[in-house]
Amino acid sequence: MAETMKLALVVSDSLQAQAGAAALRHAHEWVDPKAADVLVVLGGDGFLLHVLHEMLARNQVKPCYGLNLGTVGFLMNGQHDEMPIARRVAEAHRVPIHPLEMRAITQGGAEFSYYAINEVSLLRETRQTAKLEVTVNGQVRMEELAGDGVLVATSIGSTAYNLSANGPILPLGARMLALTPISPFRPRRWKGAIIPESAVIEFRVREAAKRPVAAVADQKEVRDVKHVHISAACDKELTLLFDPGYTLEERIFAEQFQV
């Protein structure tokens, strides 16, 4: 399989990634990304997320094997290995991912739709506290959440912004989402909720003229929103590849024992 698999090299603009690519270009016979079976992505987590979003936008989704030549690299594999790259890719563990779909309506009535692989965040735009109504599966669960905002994270995103906001880490395969408040003022003791991936979550902005709120799906921002609808895009499946013994599931598990 390693001999017949068509691989394409996709490289970040960073100097580190470009230097790493120079050595790899002669280690394998690469093809154009459009003709590839798998994309080998060089860079960091941010660049890999960019590549995944580009594939979603073109509706041309292919498995991605990341090599860490960036800053964080939580979603990437280690770069140092004497094994040929084709063999590493062929023996890699596959992790399927379903992104979130965010549909946002602004105060002016404009509608936007974006995908989020890590999380969807609602954030106050000014010094004024955001006030949000929280609805899950058509039922209002919280009439008013006051604070800096709130986020909905996938299992992969649960170790990113969600973790920094004191949200829970979600194991892969749990098919759950983390609903996490960001610096909540009222109710003070609400720590958030863990809800099924199948749930539909909606936020309505209260006092929007005085307390404007922005909605962000990974890197895509919509300002002055009045209503945000979030659901899992079960018809969109992304695949990340990880070296055996260095799987994303193991890293997410290990994060829970960091001190």
Active site residues: 45
156 is in an annotated binding site: yes
Q: Identify each DSSP E strand in the chain by its residue range.
A: 7-11, 38-43, 64-68, 93-97, 100-106, 111-116, 119-124, 130-136, 139-153, 176-186, 193-196, 201-205, 213-217, 220-222, 225-232, 238-242
- Count of CB atoms situated within 10 Å of the CB of 187: 13
Closest listed residue to residue 11, CA positions, set 76, 89, 69? 69
Q: Are strands 38-43 and 64-68 parallel, antiparallel or unpaired?
A: parallel
217 is in an annotated binding site: no
37 is in an annotated binding site: no
Closest listed residue to residue 45, CA positions, set 117, 114, 115? 117
26 is in an annotated binding site: no
161 is in an annotated binding site: yes
122 is in an annotated binding site: no
162 is in an annotated binding site: yes
What ranges in the chain are assigned the alpha helix state H? 15-24, 45-58, 85-90, 161-164, 248-255
Structure-block tokens of residue 126? 């000014």
53 is in an annotated binding site: no
54 is in an annotated binding site: no
164 is in an annotated binding site: yes
- Binding site: which residues? 45-46, 50, 118-119, 148, 156, 159-164
From the annotation, which residues make up the binding site for NAD(+)? 45-46, 50, 118-119, 148, 156, 159-164
